[in-house]
Amino acid sequence: MNKITLYPDKKLHSLGDLWGIFFEDINHAADGGLYAELVQNRSFEFSKIDNWKYNSLTAWERIGNCEIEVKNEYPLNRNNTHYLALKLENGEGGVKNLGFNEGMNIIKGEEYEFSFYGRRNTGFKENVNIFLINKDTGAVIASESVKITSCDWEKYEGILLATEDATCHLCVTTSGKSTVYLDEISLFPPTYKNRDNGLRRDIATLLADLKPKFMRFPGGCLVHDGNLDPHARNALYRWKNTIGDVSERPARRSNWGYNQTLGLGYYEYFLFCEDIGAKPLPVLPAAYNPHHHDAVPFDELQPWIDDALDLIEFANGSADTKWGKIRAELGHSEPFNLEYLAIGNEEVGDGFFDRYPYFHKAIKEKYPEIKLIGSSGPFPCGGEFEKGWKCARDNKSEMVDEHYYVSPEWMIANNKRYFEYKKEDPKVFLGEYASWGNTFYNALCEAGYMTSMEMCGNVALACYAPLLCNVDYVNWKPDMIWFNGEKAYGTPNYYVQKMFMNNQGTAAIEHNVLSEKPSVPVADESITGEIFFKTVDTAAYFYDIKLNGETVNEKGFTLKNEGSQMQKLDYCGNLEDFELECKAKELDGKRGFIIRFGVKDYGNFYHWEFGGWQNQDSAVCSTVNYRESVLGHELRSVEKGREYTLRVVVNKNRICCYIDGELVHDVVSKPVVIEPIYTSASTDEDGRIILKVVNIKNTPYKATVDVQRTINSVKAQMLTGNLDDENSFDEPLKIAPSDIDVKFNGNIVEHEFSPCSVTVLVIG
Ligand code: AHR
């Protein structure tokens, strides 16, 4: 019989704030998502800079008899420069806003708060009508009218009471023979905790239900992709632009290809953290944009460092400090108790590593209690990753932010990754991670990985990414929660996160597992398969190709600059332990060379890309069932027209890649070995014991759990299903945990852990 023995008195380490969430406005997670505003392009600020399809009337349509024009001669303020001129000549006319998705989801009996800024020409005396129409039937389901009383901008507000459930458009019309000017036309449903300028209830509730210990925000690439000038529309994310009156927040280009109103800004983030009991964890740009290697000169760093210092004062300072006063004036006199601050998001390049120390020193001098988090790039390994760790060690950062998106098999193969970290090093903040996919199988492998994060003692904080996705605006997949204009649902990954967050425990405890059957290797660990040469949007000439020292194709071949091009290396068969050498020249295009090896089929192979992603990277990757994991990464660019000698040496599961004789990658693809069971054990503040058991295999695991003290109660939850199952709008709870009965007697729990399951036992 399998046996799990728990040692409740042997505490290993604190679990602190381990499980949290990461919010980034990607996939319309904020505008058109968590931020409850129903009007899209409310201030007529949409622009081609945000998205080539946008213009200042995006999401607006003219209705009735009028002329509409977006103007900027007499703006509302210097940040909100465009407004609508509605010119009436004959009868009624105006505009309607289409909202996000299919339209605005309006619920009968609910009150919707509208507001707009208006001004009129002297002759204009008519009412402005604000109403919701059912977009399918045209029926008016709520209406109000307002008199514009001034020739200067004034704010007008009111309530629309919905008389039916419908998908709607918001209309604003008037009549007469004159011109009226409108801006910042807004409509809010009842929000989470009834906050002004608040959040969508269903999505916020799904997040609150997780009970996260912290929330990382506001990004992601969103933070560090953009212009260094804070006033530029495509500026790096500057927090000071995001507080105060929403009509004065500048519109921003998001690198995710849309407009950010910044209506959900730093003050709202802090409030939401407080509302859901999560510690805030902001990420600030480090005066550097790694996507374009733009860096602020050292003698101009101070304003960026001040942004960090001022943010801490804004969050924690008393109301008689400059920024604490601003917070108090916004409605929060008490501090937000900021404890964590990250400088940079997955940074690569010396531009970051050279600047981070200035931030670190200044912050620690003024606020030694703030726990600072450095960055180690977008991959779990490689030169920039190592530099990130070195930078954090040298500066004594409390944590290093690691990010990776990998195959579920990578998570199985690397399950013990964090046990190998050194106790004396900074702790890990796993600020972004996910296996590629939202199936139950993904969630199961993530759960196995999470048990190790609880047990290793080297991971301080971790959060899955991305968090939210609007189904009609997908930038990135998978995501933890999916929504449309009407509904939201959690994926299996969400329910794994929820089980772990709801049952985190305060300290890990010692336990051991004795299994009858051994671990199971999933596949042969040697890399075997065919070889292909490939390019993407690039013309390249590969020639003088040698295999194990013998020339197999001297003349070579050219791949064209036409999307994705691939050529198989003939005569090589299913290679094992080989040495491939070739010459390569980039002739034209955007990237460099790709060599695929160990190719089993289109979805299962290894590759080395030299000159990948904006021709910046050299990376070795494995792909399992179409899902890629990076095994090695360095910054390297290909020069057009230059001849390179490329060499790949594969020995069992070790891959070495050379450029012109220089060893650039030396990596091992870890074998995928499924353990009989993955477990973590902890205690909570009430002295209960929490045992998490993840059974990735498709056979039951019957075990005796010896708790080594009398058991009074056991509450248990299990998540299981078919490996391919996903949740959906129609079946949002197809994969969701359910309560199960567990038998116990004296010190012993007897339980058969179901095949492919995640089980949490809370033992009182
Ligand atoms: O989570 C999606 C993106 O992945 C984040 O913006 C970025 O940090 C990472 O590359």
Interval 591-612 mean pLDDT: 96
- CB contact burial 643-676 (16+ within 10 A = b; e otherwise): ebebbbbbeebebbbbbeeeebbebebbbbebbb
How far apart are the CA of 24 and the centre of ligand 1, in A? 8
Rounded to the nearest 5°, which phi and psi values hold at 132?
-105, 130
Interval 493-509 mean pLDDT: 98
- Each as own residue / partner, the long-range contacts of residues 512-517 (CB below 8 Å, 24 or more positions apart, any chain) are 512/4, 512/5, 513/2, 513/3, 513/4, 513/676, 513/677, 513/679, 514/2, 514/3, 514/4, 514/5, 515/2, 515/676, 515/677, 515/701, 516/1, 516/2, 516/676, 517/676
Instruction: Please answer whether residues 97 and 57 qualify as being in contact, where contact means their C-beta atoms are separated by less than 8 angstroms.
Output: no
* Mutation pick for ligand 1 pocket among 429, 432, 613 (CB with most ligand atoms within 8 Å): 432
The protein residue with its alpha carbon nearest to ligand 1, atom 5, reads 220
Q: Which amino acid is at 470?
A: N
Condensed to tens digits (0 to 9), the pLDDT of residues 186-227 reads 999 999 999 999 999 999 999 999 999 999 999 999 999 999
Is the CB of residue 29 below 6 angstroms from any atom belonging to ligand 1? no
Is the CB of residue 345 below 6 angstroms from any atom belonging to ligand 1? yes
Task: Work out the percent of the chain whose per-residue pLDDT is above 90.
Answer: 95
Interval 271-281 mean pLDDT: 98
pLDDT at 70: 98
Cis bond before residue 676 (omega within 30° of 0): no
Is the CB of residue 291 below 6 angstroms from any atom belonging to ligand 1? no
Position 573 pLDDT exceeds 80: no
Interval 433-458 mean pLDDT: 98
Q: Which atom of ligand 1 is nearest to the CA of 378?
A: 10
Q: How far is CA 759 from CA 554, 645, 678, 702, in A?
A: 58, 52, 10, 13
Is the CB of residue 218 below 6 angstroms from any atom belonging to ligand 1? no
Q: Which atom of ligand 1 is nearest to the CA of 345?
A: 8
Query: Count of residues for the chain?
Result: 764
Interval 171-197 mean pLDDT: 96
How does residue 39 score in pLDDT terms, banded at 50, 70 and 90?
very high
Q: Which atom of ligand 1 is nearest to the CA of 346?
A: 8
H or E stretch covering 411: helix 408-413
Position 572 pLDDT exceeds 90: no
Residue among 24, 45, 268, 346 flagged as catalytic: 346
Active site residue 346: yes
Q: Which atom of ligand 1 is nearest to the CA of 221?
A: 6
Position 596 pLDDT exceeds 90: yes
Is the CB of residue 223 below 6 angstroms from any atom belonging to ligand 1? no
How does residue 519 score in pLDDT terms, banded at 50, 70 and 90?
confident
pLDDT at 1: 87
How does residue 571 score in pLDDT terms, banded at 50, 70 and 90?
low
Condensed to tens digits (0 to 9), the pLDDT of residues 662-691 reads 999 999 999 999 999 999 999 999 999 999
pLDDT at 501: 98
> How big is the CA angle at 71 (ends 69 and 73), to the nearest 5 degrees?
150
Interval 251-266 mean pLDDT: 96
Task: Work out the percent of the chain whose per-residue pLDDT is above 70.
Answer: 100
Condensed to tens digits (0 to 9), the pLDDT of residues 103-132 reads 999 999 999 999 999 999 988 889 999 999
pTM over 0.85: yes
Condensed to tens digits (0 to 9), the pLDDT of residues 350-405 reads 999 999 999 999 999 999 999 999 999 999 999 999 999 999 999 999 999 999 99
How far apart are the CA of 345 and the centre of ligand 1, in A? 9
Instruction: Please answer whether residues 162 and 106 qualify as being in contact, where contact means their C-beta atoms are separated by less than 8 angstroms.
Output: yes
* Mutation pick for ligand 1 pocket among 21, 22, 26 (CB with most ligand atoms within 8 Å): 26
Condensed to tens digits (0 to 9), the pLDDT of residues 633-666 reads 999 999 999 999 999 999 999 999 999 999 999 9
* Mutation pick for ligand 1 pocket among 25, 384, 405, 480 (CB with most ligand atoms within 8 Å): 405
